[in-house]
Amino acid sequence: MADAVVADIQRASTHDGPGFRTTVFFKGCPLSCAWCHNPECISFEPQILEYPEKCIGCGKCADGCFAGAKVLCGKRMTPAEIAAEVARDKAYYGKDGGVTFSGGEPLAQRDALSECIDECKKLGIRCAVETSLIYYDEEIFKKLDLVMADLKIWDSATHKKYTGVPNERIIENFKKVNSLGVPVIARTPVIPGVEQGIPQISAFLKTLENVKCYELLPYHPLGKSKRQALNMAEDEFSVPSAEFMEELKQYAYIR
């Protein structure tokens, strides 16, 4: 049995897929998006987030900080432990909800992810992933009820500049997942100031019949304080205006 390194398990989530969901955030991602809203999920190793403004100077750091000034992120859990935590919310999932394995990049811990899906399926829980699609894993994708995948930037050199990797493999993997027949929700985080090629992304996705929906998600500044707490370089991005999102709305679709 493969353990997973988990950053967090969020209950009662309504942002990570349809219905009421539990989201399991796996630690570790091979991308390094300049606007990442979960920067604590980029490293595969456990890390401490530091919020010095919350320190009350009690001097008991060795016992763990109860003031929230030092927060450990990254815990090893077995797939059975993860499934048991997820199952606590099963009564609320209704006909659409379930578990979303997110991150980070959940497929980077593929054996643990695969076992988590098996454990949750045994309990009758619907399973989705949120992925960058940097990996293609037919065995895992075939077990899923839903894949939520990002296509962040159309031009590969620009993609590499902002995420650390080119996008040819991601585009290829969109085509491969499409051919499996699993429903896909595609998404682009909208980052003002970055030439993302959203019209081209939308036109490409429309050629893939299993991409049921294309969503445009405004950049969220959630990562800024976490970057500071991790001593990472600041991100320079800002939230898109309502007018800019309105202009782009024509490229999003549901079918």
Cα angle at 51 between 47 and 57, to 5 degrees? 110
CB of 34 to ligand SF4, least distance (A): 9
User: Binding residue for ligand SF4 (CB under 6 A) from 32, 156, 210, 228?
Assistant: 32
Q: Which of residues 99-128 bind ligand SF4 (CB under 6 A)?
A: 103-105
Inter-residue contact 251 to 206 (CB < 8 Å): no
Instruction: Pick the closer one to ligand SF4 by CB: 105 or 119.
Output: 105
Instruction: Pick the closer one to ligand SF4 by CB: 61 or 72.
Output: 61
Question: Which part of the chain contacts ligand SF4 (CB under 6 A), choosing from 50-58, 84-92, 170-178, 245-253?
Answer: 50-58
The Cβ of residue 65 has, within 10 Å, a number of other Cβ atoms equal to 19
Closest CA to 98 of 59, 145, 151, 57: 145
Inter-residue contact 31 to 163 (CB < 8 Å): yes
* Residues 232-251, mask of contacts with ligand SF4 (x by CB under 6 A): --------------------
User: Binding residue for ligand SF4 (CB under 6 A) from 5, 6, 9, 29?
Assistant: 29
In angstroms, the CA 48 to CA 40 distance is 9
CB of 122 to ligand SF4, least distance (A): 28
Give the helix ranges, DSSP H, for the chain.
79-87, 110-122, 138-143, 156-163, 168-180, 198-206, 222-229, 242-248
CB of 173 to ligand SF4, least distance (A): 13
Inter-residue contact 173 to 210 (CB < 8 Å): no
Write out the residues near ligand SF4 by the rule CB under 6 A.
Answer: 29, 31-33, 36, 38, 41-42, 55-61, 65, 67, 69-70, 103-105, 132
